[in-house]
Amino acid sequence: MANYDKQFYDEIRETSRHAARTIAPMVLDLIGPVSSVVDIGCGNAIWLSVWRELGATRTLGLDGDHVDRAMLEIPVDDFIPRDLSQPLPALARHDLAMTLEVVEHLPPERAESIVDELVALAPVVLFSAATPGQLGDGHINLEWQDVWAERFERRGYRTIDPIRSRVWRDPSISWWYQQNILLFASEEALAASPKLREQADKTDRNRLSVVHPRQYMILFELSQKSYRERAALAREVGLLRQRLAALTGSNEHD
C-alpha cells in the first residue's frame, strides 16, 4: 500500500468532498436511506463524513496506520488501522460498503479475497479501481472494470453503472471517479429497490471498460513528451556522431 502523506490528503480534500456530495445522493436515490457505511481504504474519511451529513448514524473506516488521526473527519473510534494487504478483521454487516481507488494498491493475490470481504460487508458496494495505464503511487494491480465486475458477478452481485454517465462531462468531478465508479448489488438489494433493479437491467455489460478523455490526454501528453525527449536525444547523438566523424576524418587526413 502507498502511504499517502498529509500533503496528499490536503490536496484532494475538497475535490473528494465535492465528489462525495455529488455522488452519494445519487446512490441514496437508488437504494434508499443508508444508516451504516463502511469504507475500506477511507483515507481521512471525507466520504464517510458526507454519508453522516446524509443521515448515516454508523460509519466505519479502515486504512493503514499511516493515516493521521488528527485529520480524520469521523470520530476516531470509527477508524480501524489495518494493513489492507492482509485479510480484514471480522466486521458487522452494513447497508453500504465502499472502496474507492484503493484495490489497485493491493497485491494481485488479494483481488479475490477483497471482493469476498466486500460482499460479506454489505448488500450494495460502491467501487472504483484504477485501470491499466492509470498512473499513481503504488499501483501494482491495474485491471479493467469488467474484470472486477466478473468477480462480483461470480458472487451473485449484479453490476450497475448509473453514475458515470451522470458525471462524465462534469469537470468538477475527478476523472478517476468519472471513469471507474460502479455499483454492485445483491439480489436482496435489487429486490428491495425497483430503481436499483431498473438501473441494473439498463447497464450495458459490454461497455464497462472505458477510458475517460481526461485520462487519455494525460497519457497522450506524457507519450508526446517522451517522444520529444527521445527525438532531442537522437538529435544530440547525431550531432555528436557528426563531430566525431569530422574529428576522425581530420586525424586520418593529417
Dihedral of the alpha carbons of 87, 83, 106, 189, in degrees to the nearest 10: 50
Q: What is the pLDDT of residues 135-161, one digit of tens each?
A: 888 999 999 999 999 999 999 999 999
User: Which of 129, 110, 108, 135 shows the shortest CA–CA distance to 208?
Assistant: 129
Q: What is the pLDDT of residues 113-139, one digit of tens each?
A: 999 999 999 999 999 999 999 988 899
Residue listed under C-alpha cell 489495518: 82
Question: How much of the chain exceeds pLDDT 70, in percent?
Answer: 87
Q: Is the pLDDT of residue 235 over 80?
A: no
Cell, residue 163: 453514475
CA–CA distances in Å: residue 111 to residues 43, 127, 153: 20, 13, 14
pLDDT of residue 253: 43
Q: Is the pLDDT of residue 244 over 50?
A: yes
pLDDT of residue 252: 43
Q: What CA–CA distance (Å, rounded) separates 1 from 132?
A: 17
pLDDT of residue 239: 67
Domain range list for the chain: 6-210, 212-254
Collapsing DSSP states into helix, strand and coil, what is residue 48? helix
Q: Is the pLDDT of residue 70 over 90?
A: yes
Question: How much of the chain exceeds pLDDT 90, in percent?
Answer: 78
Lowest mean pLDDT across 11-15, 135-139, 160-164, 188-192: 11-15
Which pTM does this prediction carry?
A: 0.85
CA–CA distances in Å: residue 34 to residues 38, 97, 137: 11, 11, 32
Q: How would CATH label the architecture of 6-210? A: 3-Layer(aba) Sandwich (3.40)
Collapsing DSSP states into helix, strand and coil, what is residue 51? helix
CA–CA distances in Å: residue 187 to residues 20, 106, 119, 122, 126: 26, 28, 12, 12, 16
